Structure 1
Amino acid sequence: MSFQIDRGLFQFDFADHHAVLGVPIDADTQTIRKRYLKIARRLHPDSCASESEEDRQRASQFLSKLVNPAWEQLSQEKERVEYDLLLKLKGQQASRQSSGELSTLGKELSTASNPEHFYHTSLKGLADRQYEHLDQVLEITGQISELNMVYLMRKEGQSTVGASEPKKAIYTGSNLPDSSQSSVRPATRPAPQPQVRRESIADQYYRRAEGYASKNNFAQAVLELRDALQIEPRNSRCHALLGMVYLKQNQTTMAKIHFNKALEIEPENAMANQGKQRLEQVQKASGRASDAAATSARAASQKPATKPNQSGNQSGGGLFGLFGGKKK
């Protein structure tokens, strides 16, 4: 399956990851993350179960070859810094070169008196529809990229567009340009590279959660695993690791829930079985400690009180006790 995007920044041989995720170019990481999760849930096979086989395959391709690479680029701090720099350069390039024929929205943005408001409002309207119908994904993504391009041109002080159209690039899924690539390509097409299986979305969250857990950052590990389970609720590996994280925090009830869920999905899951055994040991040790405490408390309550002397007073007590006993 091939993808052709020839509008906006894509026409300058640039992978516009912001356009793919439908977020403004000035969006923060939290906003990008929320948007990515929303798209990933929409394109996940479980969400496409009622659609045709063709649409399910198309959704899978969009997820693995467009959405996931965009998220990987924008979620990593080092890659994001480099990408933002290249994005600025592409905006300068668009300002110097002709940007071709613009859509109505692009033309309106190029002359808007308040480009910030117009840009963000128009982009949100497009993003709300971007992945609603799979046959419109590429068209709307191109429109969003055009808004990104014109917005960058406005920031560079360029509010008008030229008449000629630059050479358009065609992207075919696996050969979408990486942000680190130069904008100039050789005339000959490179030999196709062997396809490398990408991690699934849940695998990416799982890997990050493992890293956080190894550093005892359990709160962040829980957050990563919960996000993974929102996308793949029946991922036994994520349930098992989440159970382990809860067990390390002595949250035995939550640990038990996720161990049981992992074993329900995958009875042979080694981590879940190991975790459940450790959980049982912890609960047994806790039970023995509770029994010992209860036995000690019962023994203390059953200890006989000091017997009074024949006069009815405690030995050494009463008035005689105070004054040293009877006179001889």
Structure 2
Amino acid sequence: MARSVTPSQLRNMIRQAQQKQRQAIDKINRELRAHSQRVNQAVRNYNQQVTAYNARVRANRDRLARELARLSRPTASSRQVTLRVSFNAVHRAYECLERAADAGQLDQKYSEILDLSEREAANSAGLVNAFEGDAEQTSGAAPDEPASPVTPFLEIISSELADRWRGALYSLSPRNPDAARHFCTSAREIIARILQTKAPDDAVAAATPDCDRTPQGTPTRRAKVRYLLRVRGLDQADLEAFVESDISNVVDLFEVFNTGTHGTAGAIKLTQLQALRKRVEDGIAFLSHLVQ
């Protein structure tokens, strides 16, 4: 049986219902505003990332063009010839990779690696130019600056490897007559350790029993590169060739600066040491993107 109410009670019930309705509407409006703010922030963040990415791409492309333009002079010393030969291999591999990208053979998942590959090619050219006396002017940090963006990555692999890198940076002091030789020796060992840790011989051989092998029967470095790219879902022939040539370009620096008598590195200029550090540091960073 319906309960009778007084006019006063009815008005009170209506006010309560209206208040609940207003509260519900206010809640919906707050949620809509919050959602709109999240969407707008996401759009702004995305646009900022796109802008930053495009700026990096343009910067890498412009720098590569500038470095290539500087490489028009003839070489003189055997060191310069060796550096050029190694750079030429990197550049040829990069051109093949770029053609594959232009032909639509590489989808969106390759974007970051393509960006970093262009930076690697520019760094390789920049190193040649630096040692031929035409380094691009930079206000970069001292070559033995201890802070490094790749140290956290190396710490993940092992603290010993990170300490090795810190020691390599310390050795890159302009006051050290053997700076380049010591630095490149450590760089070669660090890269070898990264590859062995992230692409162990047993894992590579198990994944690809017919992989290329060294005379000692272990998988070659290129086989390890192919393994790493497959793990990342980036197994593309031109990228594989570029990564292999890029690693070779960094590792070969050991031979470049280990020939001759000790102390020949004493004549190396500050800009050359900076270019050497950038080449190796970014090379390790490039490798880190492939193995993480």
Alignment TM-score > 0.5, same fold:
no
> What TM-score, normalized by structure 2, do the two folds share?
0.22
- Structure number with greater CO (CA < 8 Å, separation at least 6) is 2
Q: Based on CA coordinates, which of the two structures has the bigger radius of gyration?
A: 1
> What TM-score, normalized by structure 1, do the two folds share?
0.20
Structure with the higher helix share, 1 or 2:
2
